[in-house]
Amino acid sequence: MNFILGLLNTKIVQRFADMLNPTATLQSGDLARVPVIFLKDKQASVNKIVSHNIAIAKNDWDSFETSWGFTRHPILKFRKAGASTWGDDKQKYSISSAFKAWKLFSEDQFAQLRANEEELNRIFIEIYSDK
C-alpha cells in the first residue's frame, strides 16, 4: 500500500493525470488508468520514506486542536528547550525560547518532508524512465 501511496504523490502521476484528463477535475477512473510499475527491490526504500512522511504529517496534524490526536499545544512539548537554570535548581521557562525551538523543529520536519518527497520523485522517475 505504501508503494502506491508513494507513487500517487509524485510528479509521475501528476503527468499521467494531466494526460488522461486535462480538465480541472480528476476522477477516480482516471487514477485507475495510471500504469503501476512495481519493483520489489525499491519497495523497502519507498515504504520507509512513505512511513516517515505519514508520521511527520500525523504529528503535524495532531498539533492542531481540531485533531482527535491533539493532547496539548506543541509549544508545551518544547518548554524545556526554553528553560534556563537560575541557581538553587530553580528554572525559568521562556515562552519565546520554547516557541523558537518549536519553530525550528517544525521547519526541520517540513524540510525532511520535502527531501523525502524529492527522493520519492527521484525513485519513481528512475523506475518509469527505464520502462
Per-residue pLDDT in tens (0 to 9) along the chain, 131 residues: 999 999 999 999 988 888 888 887 888 888 888 899 999 999 999 999 999 999 999 989 988 888 898 888 888 888 776 555 455 555 566 778 888 888 999 999 999 999 999 999 999 999 998 76
Contacts of residue 101, defined as CB under 8 A and 6 or more positions apart, other chains included, come to 78, 81, 82
Taking the C-alpha atoms of residue 38 and residue 35, their distance in angstroms, rounded to an integer, is 10
Per-residue confidence (pLDDT) for residue 91, from 0 to 100? 58
Per-domain residue ranges of the chain:
2-129
Phi, psi for residue 83 in degrees, rounded to 5: -90, 145
